[in-house]
Amino acid sequence: MANKTALVISAHAADFVWRAGGAIALHAKLGYDVTVVCLSYGERGESAKLWKQPGMTLDVVKEARHKEAENAAKALGVHDLVSFDLGDYPLDLGAEARDRMVDVIRKVQPSFMMSHSMWDPYNTDHMNTTKFVLETRMIAQAWGHNPGEKVLGAPQLYLFEPHQTEQMGWKPDTFLDITEVWDKKRAAIECMEGQEHLWDFYTRVAQNRANHFKRNSGGQSGGRDCKYAEGFQSIFPRTVDEL
């Protein structure tokens, strides 16, 4: 029997690490084949540390960020890391990229998907990625798109945490305990050498979300202990047999 699958779509090479590294590592441990798509390397807009070095070139930056993403993916147990190399600031999300993304979605047939918040005035690559993901998810469900291929079902799309939640209209409704795989996420975080200034920031985010996990699992009257967690906002309704 084939493993369950999940698909994470990351605008830039580091986004999947900061925002969903725990979810990736945990589900990999649970036996999921997790595919990560990086639409760009974040070479122009998210690699300032590298660009400050004398004589730096675009190709060298891209190679460095790609290597970081590969190392982080290995640390998290990613099944397949796919790099689209669409450029960044801004992403070039044209028809060719759209068709390629639909092909990946149909190939993976994910049980769930993850991407960015719906709104991000600081980085339009992020919110444009989520619009792109919603559009390609819709196309992948269409029987008339490349007839004969297996169409997509209805995987949940979880929006992972943006950098400054107050400005993004992001409202988490799901908290995931990642304590047992925190060492893997921290190792992946430290692979992102080009953005070392974010290492401790996202450690604190995980600790804060652990407090929310504890409170929403029962608080002081019997809630589960948790040291590190990630928060997500779901887009689609859930179908359940009991609450």
Question: pLDDT per residue over 45-70, tens digit each?
Answer: 999 999 999 999 999 999 999 999 99
- What percentage of the chain reaches a pLDDT higher than 70? 100
pLDDT score of 150? 97
Q: What is the mean pLDDT of residues 191-214?
A: 94
**Domains in the chain with CATH codes:** 5-234 (3.40.50.10320)
The mean per-residue pLDDT over the stretch 87-99 comes to 97
Distance CA 233, CA 243 (A): 19
Mean pLDDT of 163-191: 96
Q: What is the pLDDT of residue 194?
A: 81
Q: 58-76 and 15-29 helices cross at what angle (nearest 10)?
A: 30
Contact 25/77 with Cβ under 8 angstroms? yes
Q: Is the pLDDT of residue 236 over 80?
A: yes
pLDDT of residue 221: 80
Residue 2 pLDDT > 80, yes or no? no
Spatial distance between the Cα atoms of 232 and 98, rounded to a whole number of angstroms: 24
Statement: residue 206 has pLDDT above 90? yes
240 — pLDDT class (breaks 50, 70, 90): confident
Burial letters for 190-220: b for 16+ Cβ neighbours within 10 Å, e otherwise?
Answer: ebbebbeebeeebeebbeebbeebbeeeeee
Q: Do 77 and 31 meet the contact criterion of CB atoms below 8 Å apart?
A: no
Return the pLDDT at 223: 83
- pLDDT on residue 92: 94
* pLDDT value at residue 84: 98
Quick one: three-class SS letters along 203-216? HHHHHHHHHHHHHH
Strand, coil or helix: what is 234?
Answer: strand
Is residue 161 exposed (0-12), middle (13-18) or buried (19+ Cβ within 10 Å)?
buried
How much is the mean pLDDT over the chain? 96
